[in-house]
């Protein structure tokens, strides 16, 4: 295994900065990937540092990542240091469940947040951290965010801000690029100091380092991000959730696999090839999801092989896939219309994009170049704002 270079903020907090939690009553917001370089869970690190864990709060997918997307997570208990500690859910059956209640924070004087993000604005853990932080600060409870490196690195962004007011949601909580190149601590801090909140940065990480270069062990933060390769495609691949195409859930390589029963993968790859996608090869595949969309039905589509991480642009790659799938299948490809992340009044694709422009561009039969150029102006706008967020 390659030598570990970066040190996650939770280790810094439990080590050199232990004074911030020693002797204090802590509510911990964590999940399966909240571990040290030696894979020790955050709650054990904090207790060893002299903190007393009063409750553990779990985001979407649950503390151990066993729940699928949009599946309500139940409360329970977890055994820490010989004690049964309340395990509270911050992802239930309605939007009100996203904020901690008074009983979830009972006895706590500080909230410690340790959540691994994947570098895409749709990924819900940063939104959970921000909602919980705001609730705690309003209740007079201090907040410490133990930061972690962005597994996609912090140098390359794709897409930009521009979420319309009517399209803010749990998957559009922060008005930042789809691939934002920020850490969770930078997102929650929002480019400004907040009274009562402190970010403990990761150490030994620079913005040009992705997960592999940072050298940290990979633990799946959610059940359908099983490996770093999945995280790399996710800023584009998540858009597939807004359609009736399978995003590969129910296969061993979700999000890298895209298709449907009404798609011919050979035709799809052939239509996309002239677009000259950088850093990726699309291989025609057949697959049969074991659950989720088209469960038990053979689908055809493409598998996205990333050949050059530096040149690969996930957002534009999957914009090309959506454009080509719509061109090939006509009305058989449709936009998801059922409730999506607690919103049923707006198409899911509009929530993911931040407005109707992507849906309208594809529905109008626009050229592939026009669809793939949709992020251009927002990307240029973000360059003038991004440095204000940076802690590294």
pLDDT at 172: 98
What's the pLDDT score for residue 334?
Answer: 97
* pLDDT, tens digit (0-9, with 9 covering 90-100), for 238-286: 999 999 999 999 999 999 999 999 999 999 999 999 999 999 999 999 9
- The vertex-239 CA angle with 236 and 242, nearest 5°, equals 175
Percent of all residues in the chain with a pLDDT value above 70, rounded to a whole number: 99
Question: Which tens digit of pLDDT belongs to each residue from 176-227?
Answer: 999 999 999 999 999 888 899 999 999 999 999 999 999 999 999 999 999 9
* pLDDT of res. 3: 55
Res 1: pLDDT: 44
SS3 78: strand
**Residue 352 phi, psi (nearest 5):** -70, -40
Structural tokens at position 311? 């040149």
Residues 225, 313, 390, CA angle at the centre, nearest 5°?
80
Tens of pLDDT, residues 365-389: 999 999 999 999 999 999 999 999 9
pLDDT above 60 for 338: yes
| CA atoms 16, 17, 21, 23: torsion sign | positive
In the chain the domains, ranked by start, together with CATH numbers, are 9-148+183-222 (3.40.50.12170), 231-380 (3.90.1150.140)
230 exposure class (CB count in 10 Å sphere: 0-12, 13-18, 19+):
buried
What rounded mean pLDDT belongs to the chain?
97
Q: What is the pTM of this model?
A: 0.96
pLDDT at 2 over 60: no
- Calculate mean pLDDT across residues 121-148: 98
Give the burial string for 262-280 (b: 16+ CB within 10 Å, else e). Answer: bbbbebbbebbeebebebb
Please list, in sequence order, all residues whose beta carbon lies within 8 angstroms of the beta carbon of residue 330, skipping any fewer than 6 positions away: none
Closest C-alpha among 216, 223, 57 to residue 150: 216
Spatial CB neighbours of 47, under 8 Å, sequence gap ≥ 6: 53, 80, 81
Q: Is the dihedral of CA 341, 344, 345, 347 positive or negative?
A: positive
**pLDDT tens, residue by residue, 73-93:** 999 999 999 999 999 999 999
What pLDDT score does 193 carry? 85
Neighbours of 371 (CB within 10 A): 20
What's the half-sphere exposure (Cβ side, CA atoms, 13 Å) at 131? 23
Q: What is the DSSP string of 49-73?
A: TT-EEEEEEE-TT-TTS-S-TTPPP
Sheet with 197-200, edge to edge strand ranges: 76-80, 83-89, 52-58, 25-30, 110-114, 142-146, 197-200
């Amino acid at each position: 295994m390659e030598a570990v270079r970066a040190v996650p903020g939770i280790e810094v907090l439990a080590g050199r900065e232990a004074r911030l939690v020693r002797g204090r009553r802590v509510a911990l917001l964590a999940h399966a990937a909240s571990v040290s370089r030696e894979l020790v869970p955050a709650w054990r690190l904090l207790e060893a540092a002299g903190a007393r864990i009063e409750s553990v709060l779990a985001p979407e997918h649950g503390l151990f990542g066993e729940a699928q997307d949009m599946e309500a997570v139940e409360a329970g208990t977890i055994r820490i240091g010989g004690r049964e500690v309340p395990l509270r859910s911050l992802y239930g059956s309605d939007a009100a469940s996203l904020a901690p209640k008074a009983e979830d924070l009972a006895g706590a004087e500080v909230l410690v947040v340790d959540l691994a993000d994947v570098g895409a604005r749709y990924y819900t853990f940063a939104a959970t951290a921000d909602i919980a932080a705001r609730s705690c600060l309003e209740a007079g409870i201090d907040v410490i965010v133990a930061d972690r490196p962005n597994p996609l690195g912090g140098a390359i962004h794709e897409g930009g801000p521009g979420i319309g007011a009517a399209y803010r949601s749990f998957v559009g909580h922060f008005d930042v690029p789809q691939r934002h190149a920020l850490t969770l601590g930078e997102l929650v801090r929002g480019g400004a100091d907040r009274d009562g909140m402190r970010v403990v940065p990761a150490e030994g990480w620079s913005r040009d380092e992705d997960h592999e270069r940072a050298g940290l062990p990979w633990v799946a933060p959610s059940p359908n991000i099983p490996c770093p390769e999945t995280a790399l495609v996710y800023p584009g691949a998540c858009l597939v959730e807004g359609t009736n195409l399978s995003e590969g859930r129910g296969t061993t390589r979700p999000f890298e696999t895209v298709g449907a029963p009404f798609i011919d993968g050979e035709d799809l790859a052939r239509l996309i090839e002239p677009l000259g996608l950088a850093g990726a090869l699309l291989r025609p595949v057949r697959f049969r999801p074991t659950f989720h969309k088209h469960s038990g039905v053979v689908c055809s589509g493409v598998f996205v092989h990333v050949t050059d991480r530096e040149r690969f642009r996930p957002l534009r790659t999957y914009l090309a896939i959506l454009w080509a799938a719509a061109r090939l299948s006509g009305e058989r490809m449709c936009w998801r219309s059922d409730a999506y992340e607690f919103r049923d009044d707006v198409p899911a694709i509009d929530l993911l994009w931040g407005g109707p422009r992507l849906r309208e561009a594809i529905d109008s039969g626009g050229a592939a170049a026009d669809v793939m150029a949709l992020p251009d102006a927002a990307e240029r706008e973000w360059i003038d704002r991004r440095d204000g967020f940076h802690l590294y």
